């Protein structure tokens, strides 16, 4: 295989990258997303980029890696799909009741919970019961099961989720229901909770199972059609899709487990950011991916992004492991507004792409973060999206004056600076949330800024937090798509085995780990990974006895011994003190879960490198930029990225205009471009 | 070292931008303090029911920000801080690294402190240089504090039966843990290992939060941040006053009843005269019955907290909850009454009075400005069974602050099965409970026909049923409003009041006579069924759209018979 294509479909645009590993050439392309059938846009883009790369029909030994927001879109847009849910009798409302808690505004008597994805008439109970140890308390009543399934058929259920009480401990009844469903509901796909995630907490597991069932039919249809079109177009290798855990999986596996594909786009960004950081020698980083409607922030320590099993999708809990990212409603299109009490707010409402920010001149009357950037001189109205869109300053001024400046009694310039300050404060909080909340001081970390708007704010955020290093990728708008090419095939296994670490029988644990390793390796081989390319990592979740949240610690390579476990005990106490501020050296520690992650060998880097050229780049012009206070506008040099060679350096203040993005380098910061033309921007007094 | 405190007006003026940034940062710090507590907590009440709340104060003890947690906690932390400052630790006695704790409802002589002994409230001072600039605080409901029964359940008749009372004391002095105090506290708990973890987590959490609080001063400068504090409080007050001004002036009276089924000598009356005048409002509870020999008496701090909560609901919930929100509010509560307990009244279940205070204020508000009010909700509901774990022998607790139906409003149906008003504890997962306690759950479902009919229907209650597998189970039950059920508003109908049944559907079935009871001993193998009340309806049921009635029938939330009876709607003809 020499050619790899990464495709990242977003709401409005689909980003495509092509890497030819034979000659290292790298191509990028942005095409409109075709929401009615995503595969149309993808195929036309793939065809175009292949021909741009000079690959004819006979020359298409191509690997296809896909990232998509389709799962989220289906959940958000298709609330009325008739999905059936079978539960243990007496528990059909668990999905609707959830945890019965009011957040985030505890005083709002008009707040209402999100409606469940399955309406009550399609939630049906089946007589059966299994206890927490997996013992059958009440046998499955097959007659009642058939009756409920017939009812679901009459009601037109297009997919069925099954989540029985304690099925994580014994899936037998769920598995039997699947067999019965094959008879009673032929052709209707069924998702069992025990196939999706074998972890306790019935509401969260039911939610995850229902999400999977909900997106199953449309995802099967989409992936099948896409794979068929790709094959017809000559792309004959197994296509892969990005999953929430930061790895990729084959389309065939994804058709069974589409809930694992959640957050595929933002996760690809984290993987891409991590890959380029690692290549540049950066192992501890915060990724900051800012687009039109939101910003995604994630933390990477020792080149490993943090993950969580308590994530959410469109507000619904998902128990599957996914990279832990904080999303905030602060993107370029986020709207600034003044509340009843005269407070200036930014987001979470977004102007979207229609009408878009006021400066798009499409009738948007509300000032957005993009308008503020334009008014402060940070954006070039004539060179936005490579000049594809002209930004109208007059429209931005009008919106900022009417909605913010006049109500607050300040100048348009002050208002614009204020909007940026508040938006950046939200981002600073998000960065603290992923770092300080885990007991990690972000100041020793590098901030990686990407997405269309990330480079506009990255240096300012780093400055505010006291981070001394910023990394801006060579193609800030293509990090997600290129992340798809940097991802490994990844498969996570978990087994819950709660026991005190002191009483562990080492051969038993070793055997359990051994079984998980075999299962993980098999899952990888089934997806075409060669045995010699398989890598396996072991980890355990530990906690003080009685706690409900665990800390995950890696198990060192090699034999498990008493010494290894005792070293992990020490490490746990230290880690606990770092995260929570206290330790209990005499308290018993419990092992909760054994985890095994199988991955393929990490692929070589997708970015092309360039020869160094010490020539000092010259600016294409000067621009009046407002910074810090409205009275201190100054002329800053403006550079074009296309004219900056590898090895070049620029001192701030400066603006660097990328084809799809703009980087602001504040005074006191210095940028240097490396061999891949990633910019390393460093606080000068360091 | 000399300790300076910031008092009086701040020197600097602030712009709305810095103000907004400081406001967001304070809220985030409070949320992180509460979040860390939940993740490090080991008692079931903290880790699964999230019964803990964080708040931040300025150097004078004025509320600045809070986590979105338990309303009744939040509005009590500041009252307790004032008592601590006035009677125990004046500002000049705090040192960096200190943590002061108390759980004593009667600290300071009145009842302006922790609401009940299980809530240990902890405070940590924040110093910017030598200047005491603020406090971080957590209120945590701990598992067991050594009362007559595990978890302080049961029908205590005086405070001495409700466990160890800790007056405000420094658990940590300048960073050093007071091992003697800790040993004394742990020695009084049935679950010392859990309490130790959770109390240390509480203290560590507010200290970490204190560092984040201090970062604000270092980022923006002391004068600016202090000026922001003043302005945050001023804005909340101004906005609250504007909201009160929009409510028609007048005197509005309302009455609620507790223990209305005659339990424990009931019924007892709560009375309210609400006087709105200009931009101020007075809540006068004169005429409320005296405190009783039972654990339902509300300390004054609890009455204030419930009143502050409902004021936020009926004004503008988006106003940031700071000290300023409460300035236009006067509360008159006779000492020694159900709404202002005095020593030695027991008060573990003060929430019964607190929930009724919310409905009391809503009922008065319905006369003044009905669109701001909400019909009655399900009230205070606890369901708790304690028995030793079948395998480990450790104390197993199956317990929840039970959700029920919420009242409808002028704008929509009430919420089905939700934590009610001043409580906001998530229900624990059944699968988590079954690992820790010897119970087998049989049912958690909506209770059809339990919501009050109306133009907008009240939320339905819940049927919760479980079988007790352990030996010698101790059962404790609380459910309000079994006789005078949650009332409707503006023509809406009352909801079902629910009830308790032991061994339902067997020849040993018994319906509990009273909805609130003492600890009682069940028999291994018994089942407990609790039907929680629904919420009251809002507006005339005849005005409800037929599509909504049909949808409710399809979802089996309303039966065809009830549709005919309550709405005069015949689904067969429709």
Instruction: Read off the pLDDT of residues B344-376 as tens digits, 9 standing for 90 and up.
Output: 999 999 999 999 999 999 999 999 999 999 999
| DSSP 8-class letter at A550 | -
pLDDT band at A384; cut points 50, 70, 90: confident
Across residues A86-107, what is the average pLDDT?
95
Cβ proximity of A518 and A610 under 8 Å: no
Considering the four listed CATH numbers 3.30.310.50, 3.30.420.40, 3.40.190.10, 1.25.10.10, the one that applies to the domain covering A264-330+424-485 is 3.30.420.40
Q: Which helix (H) or strand (E) holds A271?
A: helix A264-279
Angle at which helix A38-52 crosses helix A202-232, to 10 degrees, equals: 50
pLDDT score, position B468: 97
Min Cα distance A576 → chain B (Å) is 9
- Please tell me if the domain spanning A264-330+424-485 has the same topology as the one spanning A490-599: no
Across residues A615-622, what is the average pLDDT?
90
Query: Who contacts B67 (Cβ-Cβ below 8 Å, separation ≥6)?
Result: B27, B30, B31, B33, B34, B35, B53, B54, B55, B74
Chain B's closest residue to A91, CA to CA, is B444
Query: Who contacts B442 (Cβ-Cβ below 8 Å, separation ≥6)?
Result: A90, B465, B466, B467, B527
Min Cα distance A100 → chain B (Å) is 5
Minimum mean pLDDT range among A189-203, A341-355, B410-424: A341-355
What is the distance between the alpha carbons of residues A124 and A122, in angstroms, rounded to a whole number?
6
Query: Quick one: which of A431, A442, A539, A447 has its CA closest to A493?
Result: A539
What is the share, in percent, of chain A residues with pLDDT greater than 70?
A: 99
Tokens 């080991």 map to which residue? Answer: B42
Got the DSSP string for B90-137?
-GGG--TT-EEEE--TTTTTTT-S-SSTTEEEEEEEEEETTEEEEEEE
SS3 call for A91: coil
Min Cα distance A365 → chain B (Å) is 21
pLDDT score, position B554: 95
The pTM score is: 0.92
Residue B523 has pLDDT above 50, yes or no: yes
pLDDT band at A24; cut points 50, 70, 90: confident
Convert the pLDDT of each residue in A202-241 to its tens digit.
999 999 999 999 999 899 999 999 999 988 887 778 899 9
Residue A465 has pLDDT above 60, yes or no: yes
Convert the pLDDT of each residue in A493-517 to its tens digit.
888 778 889 888 899 999 999 999 9
Cβ proximity of B199 and B182 under 8 Å: yes
Do A109 and B313 count as a contact with CB atoms less than 8 A apart? yes
Query: Quick one: which of A522, A605, A562, A350 has its CA closest to A453?
Result: A350
pLDDT score, position B1: 42
Across residues B411-432, what is the average pLDDT?
95
Do B430 and A432 count as a contact with CB atoms less than 8 A apart? no
Residue B87 has pLDDT above 50, yes or no: yes
List the Cα angle A458/A385/A393 in 5-degree steps: 85
Min Cα distance A428 → chain B (Å) is 9
Convert the pLDDT of each residue in A386-436 to its tens digit.
777 889 999 999 999 999 999 999 999 999 999 999 999 999 999 988 888
Minimum mean pLDDT range among A226-240, A280-294, B313-327: A226-240
Nearest CB partner across the interface for B20, out of A113, A345, A545: A345
B17 vs A contacts (CB less than 8 Å): 344, 417-418, 421-422
A120 vs B contacts (CB less than 8 Å): 446, 554-557
What is the distance between the alpha carbons of residues B178 and B172, in angstroms, rounded to a whole number?
6
Chain B contact for A443 (CB, 8 A cutoff): no
Do B28 and A120 count as a contact with CB atoms less than 8 A apart? no
Residue A59 has pLDDT above 90, yes or no: no
Average pLDDT, chain B: 94
Nearest CB partner across the interface for A546, out of B42, B71, B465: B42
- A34 phi and psi, to 5 degrees? -110, 90
Residue B191 has pLDDT above 90, yes or no: yes
Mapped to the 3 state alphabet, what secondary structure does B124-183 carry? EEEEECCEEEEEEEEEEECCCCCCCCHHHCCCCCCHHHHCCCCCCEEEEECCEECHHHHH
Which of B362, B445, B463 to mutate against chain A (most A CBs within 10 Å)?
B445
A87 vs B contacts (CB less than 8 Å): none
Q: Which helix (H) or strand (E) holds A383?
A: none
Which of B35, B41, B42 to mutate against chain A (most A CBs within 10 Å)?
B42
Q: Tell me the C-alpha to C-alpha distance, in Å, between residue B226 and each of A425, B131, B324, B368, B557.
A: 18, 11, 15, 38, 52
Do A549 and B43 count as a contact with CB atoms less than 8 A apart? no
What is the distance between the alpha carbons of residues B29 and A429, in angstroms, rounded to a whole number?
9
Average pLDDT, chain A: 91
Convert the pLDDT of each residue in B16-33 to its tens digit.
888 888 998 999 999 999
Query: Quick one: which of B531, B523, B413 has its CA closest to B463?
Result: B531
Chain B contact for A101 (CB, 8 A cutoff): yes
Query: Residue ranges of the alpha helices (H) in A550-642?
Result: 562-580
What is the distance between the alpha carbons of residues B232 and B235, in angstroms, rounded to a whole number?
5
| DSSP 8-class letter at B307 | H
Across residues B132-154, what is the average pLDDT?
95
pLDDT score, position A600: 93
pLDDT score, position B430: 96
Min Cα distance A437 → chain B (Å) is 7
Nearest CB partner across the interface for A580, out of B201, B312, B411: B201
B409 vs A contacts (CB less than 8 Å): 109-110
B-facing residues of A in 334-353 (CB < 8 A) are 339-345
Query: Quick one: which of A353, A322, A311 has its CA closest to A32?
Result: A353
Tokens 């079948």 map to which residue? Answer: B390
Nearest-10 Cα torsion for B230, B236, B239, B243: -150
User: Does B461 or A606 have the greater pLDDT score?
Assistant: B461
pLDDT score, position A372: 97
Across residues B456-470, what is the average pLDDT?
98
pLDDT score, position B111: 97
Token pair, residue A568, equals 């992990």
Residue A292 has pLDDT above 50, yes or no: yes
pLDDT score, position A2: 77
Query: Who contacts B151 (Cβ-Cβ below 8 Å, separation ≥6)?
Result: B118, B143, B144, B384, B386, B397, B399
B-facing residues of A in 536-565 (CB < 8 A) are 544-549
Token pair, residue B443, equals 């049912």
Do B316 and A340 count as a contact with CB atoms less than 8 A apart? yes
Q: Structural domain boundaries of chain A?
A: 81-214, 264-330+424-485, 334-418, 490-599, 621-683
Q: What is the largest distance, in Å, between two alpha-carbon atoms of chain B? A: 84
- A438 phi and psi, to 5 degrees? -100, 10
Architecture field, domain A490-599: 2-Layer Sandwich (3.30)
Chain B contact for A180 (CB, 8 A cutoff): no
CB atoms within 10 A of CB B335: 13
């Amino acid at each position: 295989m020499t050619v790899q294509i990464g495709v990242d479909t977003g709401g409005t645009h689909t980003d495509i990258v092509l890497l030819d590993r034979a000659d290292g050439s790298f191509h990028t392309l942005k095409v409109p997303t075709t929401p009615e059938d995503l595969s149309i846009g993808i195929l036309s883009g793939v065809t175009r980029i292949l021909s741009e790369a000079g690959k004819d029909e006979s020359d298409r030994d191509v690997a296809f890696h896909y990232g998509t927001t389709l799962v989220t879109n289906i959940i958000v847009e298709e609330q009325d799909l008739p999905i059936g849910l079978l539960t243990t009798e007496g528990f059909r409302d668990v999905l609707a009741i959830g945890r019965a808690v009011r957040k985030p505004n505890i005083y709002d008597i008009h707040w209402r919970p999100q409606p469940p994805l399955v309406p009550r008439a399609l939630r049906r109970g089946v007589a059966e019961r299994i206890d927490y140890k997996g013992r059958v308390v009440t046998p499955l009543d097959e007659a009642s099961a058939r009756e409920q399934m017939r009812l679901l058929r009459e009601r037109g259920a297009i997919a069925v989720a099954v989540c029985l009480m304690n099925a994580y401990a014994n899936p037998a009844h769920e598995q039997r229901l699947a067999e019965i469903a094959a008879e009673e509901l032929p052709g209707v796909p069924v998702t069992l909770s025990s196939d999706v995630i074998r972890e306790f907490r019935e509401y969260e597991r039911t939610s995850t199972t229902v999400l999977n069932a909900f997106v199953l039919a449309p995802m099967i249809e989409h992936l099948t059609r896409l794979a068929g079109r790709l094959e017809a177009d000559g792309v004959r290798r197994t296509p892969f899709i990005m999953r929430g855990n930061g790895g990729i999986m084959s389309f065939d596996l994804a058709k069974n487990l589409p809930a694992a594909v959640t957050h595929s786009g933002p996760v690809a960004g984290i993987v891409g950011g991590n890959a380029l950081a690692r290549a540049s020698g950066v192992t501890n980083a915060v990724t900051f991916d800012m687009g039109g409607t939101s910003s995604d922030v994630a933390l990477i320590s020792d080149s490993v992004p943090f993950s969580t099993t308590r994530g959410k999708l469109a507000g619904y809990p998902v128990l599957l492991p996914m990279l832990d990212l904080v999303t905030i409603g602060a993107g370029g299109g986020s709207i600034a507004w003044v509340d009843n009490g005269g407070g200036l707010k930014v987001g979470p409402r977004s102007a979207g792409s229609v009408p878009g920010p006021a400066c798009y001149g499409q009738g948007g009357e509300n000032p957005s973060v993009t308008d503020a950037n334009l008014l402060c001189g940070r954006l070039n109205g004539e060179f936005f999206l490579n000049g594809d869109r002209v930004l109208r300053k007059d429209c931005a001024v009008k919106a900022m004056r009417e909605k913010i400046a006049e109500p607050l009694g300040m100048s348009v310039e002050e208002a614009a600076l204020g909007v940026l300050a508040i938006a950046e404060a939200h981002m600073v909080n998000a960065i603290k949330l992923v770092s300080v909340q885990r007991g990690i001081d972000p100041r020793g970390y590098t901030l990686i800024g990407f997405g269309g708007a990330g480079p506009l704010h990255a240096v300012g955020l780093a400055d505010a937090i006291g981070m001394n290093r910023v990394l801006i990728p060579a193609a800030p708008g293509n990090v997600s798509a290129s992340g798809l090419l940097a991802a490994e095939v990844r498969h996570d296994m978990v087994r819950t085995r709660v026991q005190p670490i002191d009483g562990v029988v080492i051969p038993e644990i070793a055997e359990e780990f051994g079984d998980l390793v075999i299962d993980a390796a098999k899952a990888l081989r089934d997806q075409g990974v060669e045995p010699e390319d398989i890598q396996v990592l072991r980890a355990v979740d530990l906690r003080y006895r009685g706690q409900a949240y665990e800390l995950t610690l890696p198990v060192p390579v090699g034999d498990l011994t008493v010494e290894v476990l005792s070293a992990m005990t020490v490490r746990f106490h230290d880690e606990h003190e770092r995260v929570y501020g206290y330790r209990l050296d005499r308290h018993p520690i419990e092992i909760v879960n054994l985890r095994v992650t199988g991955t393929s060998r990490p692929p070589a880097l997708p970015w092309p490198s360039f020869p160094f050229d010490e020539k000092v780049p010259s600016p294409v012009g000067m621009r009046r930029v407002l910074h810090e206070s409205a009275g201190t506008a100054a002329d800053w040099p403006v550079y074009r990225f296309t004219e900056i060679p590898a090895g070049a350096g620029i001192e701030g203040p400066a603006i660097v205009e990328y084809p799809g993005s703009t980087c602001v380098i504040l005074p006191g910061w210095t940028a240097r471009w490396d061999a891949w033309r990633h910019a390393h921007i460093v606080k000068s007094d360091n | 070292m000399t300790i300076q405190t910031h008092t009086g007006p701040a020197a600097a003026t602030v712009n709305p931008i810095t103000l907004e940034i400081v406001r967001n940062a304070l809220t985030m710090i409070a949320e992180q303090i509460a979040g860390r507590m939940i993740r490090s907590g080991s008692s079931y009440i903290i880790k699964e029911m999230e019964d803990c709340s964080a708040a931040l104060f300025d150097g004078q003890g004025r509320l600045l920000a809070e986590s979105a947690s338990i309303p009744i906690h939040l509005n009590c932390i500041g009252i307790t801080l004032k008592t601590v400052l006035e009677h125990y630790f004046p500002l000049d006695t705090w040192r960096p690294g200190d943590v002061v704790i108390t759980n004593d409802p009667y600290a300071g002589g009145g009842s302006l402190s922790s609401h009940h002994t299980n809530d240990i409230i902890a405070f940590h001072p924040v110093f910017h240089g030598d200047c005491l600039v603020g406090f971080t605080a957590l209120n945590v409901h701990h598992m067991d504090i050594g009362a007559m029964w595990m978890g302080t359940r049961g029908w205590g008749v005086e405070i001495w039966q409700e466990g160890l009372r800790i007056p405000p004391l420094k658990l940590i002095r300048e960073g050093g843990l007071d091992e003697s105090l800790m040993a004394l506290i742990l020695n009084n708990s049935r679950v010392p290992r859990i309490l130790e973890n959770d109390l240390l987590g509480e203290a560590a959490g507010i200290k970490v939060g204190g560092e984040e609080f201090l970062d604000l001063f270092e980022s923006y400068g002391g004068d600016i941040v202090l000026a922001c504090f003043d302005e945050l409080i001023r804005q909340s007050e101004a906005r609250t006053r504007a909201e009160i001004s929009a409510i028609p002036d007048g005197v509005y009276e309302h009455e609620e009843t507790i223990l209305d089924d005659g339990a424990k000598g009931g019924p007892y009356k709560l009375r309210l005269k609400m006087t709105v005048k200009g931009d101020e409002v007075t809540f006068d509870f004169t005429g409320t019955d005296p405190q009783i020999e039972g654990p339902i008496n509300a300390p004054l701090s609890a009455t204030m907290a419930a009143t502050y909560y409902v004021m936020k609901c009926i004004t503008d919930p988006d106003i940031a909850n700071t000290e300023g929100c409460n300035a236009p509010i006067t509360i008159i509560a006779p000492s020694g009454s159900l709404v202002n307990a005095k020593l030695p009244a027991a008060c573990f279940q003060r929430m019964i009075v607190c929930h009724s205070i919310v409905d009391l204020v809503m009922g008065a508000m319905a006369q003044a400005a009905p669109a701001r009010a909400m019909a009655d909700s399900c009230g205070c509901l606890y369901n708790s069974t304690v028995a030793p774990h079948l395998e480990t022998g450790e104390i197993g607790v199956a317990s929840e602050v039970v959700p029920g139906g919420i009242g409808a409003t002028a704008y929509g149906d009430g919420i089905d099965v939700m934590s009610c008003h001043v409580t906001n504890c998530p229900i624990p997962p059944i699968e988590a409970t079954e690992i820790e306690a010897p119970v087998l759950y049989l049912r958690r479902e909506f209770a059809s026909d339990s919501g009050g009919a109306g133009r907008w229907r009240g939320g339905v209650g819940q049927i919760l049923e479980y079988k007790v597998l352990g030996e010698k189970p101790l059962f404790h039950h609380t459910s309000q409003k079994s006789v005078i059920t949650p009332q409707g508003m503006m023509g809406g109908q009352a909801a079902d009041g629910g009830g308790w049944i032991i061994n339902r559907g067997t020849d040993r079935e018994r319906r509990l006579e009273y909805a609130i009871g003492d600890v009682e001993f069940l028999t291994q193998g018994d089942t407990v069924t609790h039907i929680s009340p629904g919420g009251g309806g809002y507006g005339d049921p005849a005005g409800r759209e037929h599509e909504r009635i049909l949808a409710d029938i399809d979802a089996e939330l309303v039966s065809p018979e009830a549709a005919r009876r309550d709405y005069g709607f015949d689904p067969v003809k429709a």
